[in-house]
Amino acid sequence: MKHIFTTLLAAFALSSAVHAQDGKLEVAGLTFKIEAPWASVESTGMFRAGTLNAKVEGVEKPLEAVFYHFPGPGGGGGVQANVDRWLGQFASKPESKTEEIDAGGKKITLVTATGTYNDGPPMGAKTPRENYTLIAAIVPTEDSNIFIKLAGPKEAIAKLAEGFKKMAGSPFVK
């Protein structure tokens, strides 16, 4: 059983096709342009297709923008299911906004939410973080979506928000 699980994880990692180079991160055949303060780092989570770190003044640890890709039609769930899941990561209903932005003719769904965020791994203990903002994007691919999520102190995310939006749409902007 352990061998099967390991084999499945390896196949998943290969199918997501992630490559990082200076100023670029490739996920599922799309190339995202990375600008300062973002830096590509090794992805350690089971479902992560890529990870970027950004150091923000006044925040002790670098903030992480995590990329997820689940190949195939419907992989990772639909747009609304993911929006609802992200909003459900707050202790109570957050102040939120969901919008579609145009990136070179492609529609990117962008979610921004602020409140008490339940920080922690998907299947582990959570730590409530007051006055946190989550910004997330759903980027369409040929057969599925790439999900990008960033959460941190409200003021720090405000400093990164425009760059995050630009990066999320960068595969489609020439």
Question: For residue 106, what pLDDT is reported?
Answer: 96
Tell me which of 3-17, 98-112, 131-145 is least confident: 3-17
Q: Are 146 and 30 in contact (CB under 8 A)?
A: yes
- Give the pLDDT mean for 10-18: 40
Question: For residue 65, what pLDDT is reported?
Answer: 98
Residues contacting 8, CB < 8 A, separation 6+: none
Q: State what percent of residues in the chain have pLDDT above 70.
A: 88
Q: Are 169 and 103 in contact (CB under 8 A)?
A: yes
pLDDT, mean over the chain: 89
Other CB atoms within 10 A of residue 88 CB: 10
Residues contacting 139, CB < 8 A, separation 6+: 30, 106, 108, 145, 146, 147, 148, 168, 169, 171
Q: Three-state SS for 169?
A: helix
Residue 18: phi, psi to the nearest 5?
A: -110, 130
Question: For residue 110, what pLDDT is reported?
Answer: 98
Question: For residue 5, what pLDDT is reported?
Answer: 37
Sign of CA dihedral 49, 7, 76, 135: negative
How far is Cα 143 from Cα 74, in angstroms, rounded to an integer?
8
- Give the pLDDT mean for 146-170: 98
Asked if pLDDT for residue 19 goes beyond 70, the answer is no
Asked if pLDDT for residue 6 goes beyond 50, the answer is no
Assign 18 a pLDDT band (cuts: 50, 70, 90). Answer: very low
Q: What is the pLDDT of residues 97-129, one digit of tens each?
A: 999 999 999 999 999 999 999 999 888 999 999
- Give the pLDDT mean for 32-58: 92
Domain ranges of the chain: 2-172
81, 5, 7, 41 alpha-carbon torsion, rounded to 10°: 60
How far is Cα 166 from Cα 171, in angstroms, rounded to an integer?
10
pTM of the complete model: 0.86
Asked if pLDDT for residue 14 goes beyond 80, the answer is no
Question: For residue 123, what pLDDT is reported?
Answer: 86
Instruction: Give the domain 2-172 fold.
Output: Protein Transport Mog1p; Chain A (3.40.1000)
